[in-house]
Amino acid sequence: MRPMSLALRLGMIVTSVGLLLAIILVVMVYSVLERELDKRAVDQLQAKLGQIQHSLEERPANPTKAPWQHVLADALLGHDELSVTVLSAEEDTPLYGLGSHAYADELRPGRWPDAQTLAWHSDDGHDLLTIRTSLTIPSLPPLQLLLSQDRSSDRFLLDAFLRAALISLPILLLLIGAAAWWTGYQGLAPLRHFRRTARAITTRQLTLRVDDTNLPAEVADLAIALNTMLERLNTGVQQLDRFADDVAHELRAPLGILIGRTQMVLSRKRDEATYQKALEDSLDELDRLSRIVADMLLLARLDSHEPLTSLSQVAVEQETLKVCSLFEAYAEAREIELVVKGQLQVEGDKLMIQRALSNLLSNAIRHAYPRTAVIVELGAQEEGGGWAAVINQGSPIDPDELSNVFNRFYRAGDQPTGGSGLGLAIVRAIMISHRGLVQAESHNGMTRFTLTFPPAITPVTNFDEQGEAEALCSPTNR
């Protein structure tokens, strides 16, 4: 069974609450109205009773006045809802009665309770209220005067109110529920937009975003979170696409060469030396492919922005000397002198910093003029952190190419020889993971690559190669 929508749930909840409040309101109004009608009836009877007593008290002083029965009849004239009964304390039957309910059994002395007022129900279905008082008439024994009021009009008013409430209440609740449903439906419109956006998103269409302008605060936070998630997904898919493109781009040619060379050698019978030379060439090519795959896996791991787990205080000058010792034979073969100046201690991953320095030194030695020096300058900053610069003297890098040297598989001058084109891309990824900066400068025959380390490392949580990477790794040309 499909769950109810939020709008329908909201409408039902509001309707239920409205029903409860309406019932409470109707009960309260009915009770107040009934109490006020009772009070008004008592006040009216007491006022009429006072008027009758006053008329009877004036009668003995004025012999021309009508008998006391006429006084009672005059008092009830025009009041069809009133009835009057005169009782003797010595007799069980009324001495006088006037009105439709004057001789009701409920008014007999033996059935009257010990109270001044009595609310009772007649045999013909009428509700009545009776009030009694003592009455003194000359030449007559002590009497009691009972004044009754037919409250059918009050009961009709209460019943009319109750009928109107019972008829209008369902209609009102239906309107309230419909209004609540419509309000909830309109308020949840952003969620329907989220649903349409989510349905339109595929691995090839991750650029769609939810418009978070003019949204309520709760929904706006959800839209921002959803857009952030989509941004991360888009970045991850782009990284996978780049990795696949890199693999196809860089491995296709070496694999084709290996296959072609092997097919050529096997096309006819050759001597042992030829087979050995072919195997050696294939081994060199396979070793190069192995390094390329290792570099691409390292780049993929760095691009995934996993937090650095092996952070420690790194003495950069010591790590630089270790790297220089590895390149010492290569530098001597090219008559290159390696010089390290200054000291620097930063927080970072020791192996990653070694890898960045190794890639920069390898490039610097490869592109330096013979009988020159490759200099590594180290310096600390007052606020913390510091910088490491690798400087060589060689062919300058064209300004147009300088902005591309950190791209993957880029080789200056489109030269097929040399490295794989991943070295500087790895340096950039390492510095981004350290929240650092790498800059390239080339002028006056000197090329300088500078690594700038921050005072402390904040893990990278979101990365856009076209945005933050360009800001962190922007080359300069002075």
CA 15 to chain centre: 26
Both tokens assigned to 280 = 């050696």
* Residue 353 clears pLDDT 70, i.e. is over it: yes
315-334: b (≥16 Cβ within 10 Å) or e: ebbebbeebbeebeeebeee
> What whole-number distance in Å separates Cα of residue 441 and Cα of residue 433?
22
* Residue 233 clears pLDDT 70, i.e. is over it: yes
217-266 and 189-200 helices, crossing angle to 10°: 0
Quick one: pLDDT band at residue 333, thresholds 50, 70, 90? very high
Contact 147, 45 (CB under 8 A): yes
pLDDT at position 379, please?
A: 93
* Residue 468 clears pLDDT 70, i.e. is over it: no
Instruction: Please report where in the chains the tokens 């042992």 appear, as a residue.
Output: 272
Instruction: Please report where in the chains the tokens 């084709």 appear, as a residue.
Output: 256
* Residue 29 clears pLDDT 80, i.e. is over it: yes
* Residues 6+ away with beta carbon under 8 Å from 229: none
Type of residue found at 60? P
* Residue 66 clears pLDDT 60, i.e. is over it: no
Instruction: Please report where in the chains the tokens 């620097």 appear, as a residue.
Output: 344
Q: Which residues pair with 191 in a beta bridge?
A: none
Higher pLDDT, 239 or 184: 184
> What whole-number distance in Å separates Cα of residue 75 and Cα of residue 69?
10
> What whole-number distance in Å separates Cα of residue 273 and Cα of residue 281?
12
pLDDT tens digits, 398-452: 887 887 788 777 666 555 445 567 788 889 988 988 889 999 999 888 999 999 9
Q: Which residues pair with 85 in a beta bridge?
A: 97, 146
* Residue 288 clears pLDDT 50, i.e. is over it: yes
- Do the strands 373-380 and 337-341 form a parallel or antiparallel pair, or are they unpaired? parallel
pLDDT at position 89, please?
A: 66
- List, as one string, the DSSP characters of 154-196: HHHHHHHHHHHHHHHHHHHHHHHHHHHHHHHHHHTHHHHHHHH
316-333 and 350-367 helices, crossing angle to 10°: 30
What average pLDDT does the segment 115-119 reach? Answer: 82
Both tokens assigned to 451 = 């690594």
Both tokens assigned to 160 = 């009319």
> What whole-number distance in Å separates Cα of residue 108 and Cα of residue 90?
12
Both tokens assigned to 358 = 């190794």
What's the number of CA atoms in the CB half-sphere (13 Å) around residue 385?
15
Most confident option among 281-285, 357-361, 474-478: 357-361
In three-state secondary structure terms, 468 is helix
> What whole-number distance in Å separates Cα of residue 52 and Cα of residue 37?
23
**Dmax (CA) of the chain:** 166
What average pLDDT does the segment 257-267 reach? Answer: 85
Structural domains of the chain sorted by starting position, each given as residue range(s) with its CATH number in brackets: 4-159 (3.30.450.20), 215-297 (1.10.287), 309-451 (3.30.565.10)
pLDDT tens digits, 362-399: 999 999 999 999 999 999 988 888 999 999 998 888 88
Contact 364, 392 (CB under 8 A): yes
The torsion region of residue 448 among left (phi > 0), alpha (psi -120 to 50) and beta comes to: beta
Both tokens assigned to 241 = 């696409």
> What whole-number distance in Å separates Cα of residue 125 and Cα of residue 152?
9
What average pLDDT does the segment 283-305 reach? Answer: 77
Using CB atoms within 10 A of its CB, is residue 145 exposed (0-12), middle (13-18) or buried (19+)?
A: buried
In three-state secondary structure terms, 309 is coil
